[in-house]
Chain A
Amino acid sequence: MNPGTLKQILLITDGCSNQGEDPVAMAALAKEQGVTVNVIGVMEQDTIDEQGMKEIEGIAMSGGGVSQVVYAQSLSQTVQMVTRKAMTQTLQGVVNKELQQILGSTKTMEDLPPEQRGEVMEVVDELGENVKLEVLVLVDTSASMKHKLPTVKEALLDLSLSLNARAGNNQFGVFVFPGKKKDVEKLLDWTPQLESLTSIFPKLSTGGITPTGPAIREALSYFRKKRSLRSLLSRDDEQFFEESM
Chain B
Amino acid sequence: MMMNSSLKNLCKVQSGTIIEGKWHKNRYTIIKELGFGANGIVYLAQFHNQRVALKMSDNGMSITSEVNVLKSFAKVQGSSLGPSLIDVDDWTVRRQTISFYAMEYIAGPDLLTFIKQKGTGWIDVLMLQLLSDLHTLHEKGWVFGDLKPENLIVMGPPPRIRCIDVGGTTIQGRAIKEFTEFYDRGYWGLGTRKAEPTYDLFAVAMILINTAYPKRFNKSTGGVTQLQEMIRRAKPLQKYEAVIVNALHGKYQSAKEMRFDMIRNLNEPIKHAQSSYRKGSAKQPIQKSRQSQHKRKGGWLETTLIVMVISILYMIYIYGQIG
Contact = CB atoms under 8 A, between A and B. Distances in A.
Interface of A: 68-71, 74, 76-78, 81, 84, 88, 92, 109-110, 113-115, 117-118, 120-122, 124-125, 129, 158, 161-167
A109 B71 contact: no
A161 B192 contact: yes
The secondary-structure label for the interface of chain A is helix
A114 B2 contact: no
Interface string B146-190: 000000000000000000000000010111110011000011000
B60 A129 contact: no
A193 to B, nearest CB: 13
Nearest to B180: A77
Interface stretch (B62-70, B203-211, B228-236, B297-305): B62-70
B277 interface: no
Given A161-B193, A164-B192, A166-B175, 19 more contacts: A69-B2, A77-B181, A78-B2, A110-B90, A113-B23, A114-B89, A114-B99, A115-B88, A117-B64, A118-B67, A121-B64, A121-B65, A124-B61, A158-B187, A161-B186, A162-B176, A162-B186, A165-B174, A165-B186
B175 A162 contact: yes
B77 interface: no
B225 interface: no
A243 B54 CA distance: 52
B318 interface: no
B8 interface: no
Nearest to A73: B218
Interface of B: 1-2, 4, 23, 38, 60-61, 64-65, 67-68, 71, 88-90, 97, 99, 171, 173-177, 180-181, 186-187, 192-195
Contact of A114 (B88, B174, B195): B88
Contacts of B67: 114, 118
A146 B174 CA distance: 36
A114 to B, nearest CB: 4
Contacts of A117: 60, 64
19 contacts: A68-B2, A69-B2, A76-B181, A77-B181, A78-B2, A81-B38, A110-B90, A114-B64, A114-B99, A115-B88, A121-B61, A122-B68, A129-B174, A129-B175, A158-B186, A161-B186, A162-B186, A165-B176, A167-B174
A77 B180 CA distance: 8
A66 to B, nearest CB: 9
A114 B192 contact: no
A30 to B, nearest CB: 22
A78 to B, nearest CB: 8
Contacts of B194: 165
A173 B245 CA distance: 36
B61 A92 contact: yes
3 closest A-B pairs (Cβ-Cβ)?
A165-B175, A165-B193, A114-B88
A124 B177 CA distance: 13
A231 to B, nearest CB: 29
B95 to A, nearest CB: 13
Choose among A68, A92, A125, A165 the residue with the greatest number of B CB atoms under 10 Å from its CB.
Answer: A165
A92 B67 CA distance: 17
B61 A165 contact: no
A122 B72 CA distance: 12
Contacts of A77: 1, 180-181
A118 B192 contact: no
A124 B62 CA distance: 11
A78 B181 CA distance: 11
A47 B55 CA distance: 30
A74 B1 contact: yes
Contacts of B71: 118
Contacts of A166: 174-175
A100 to B, nearest CB: 17
Contact of B68 (A84, A118, A164): A118
A15 B137 CA distance: 45
Given A68-B2, A76-B181, A158-B187, A165 B192 contact: yes
B64 A118 contact: yes
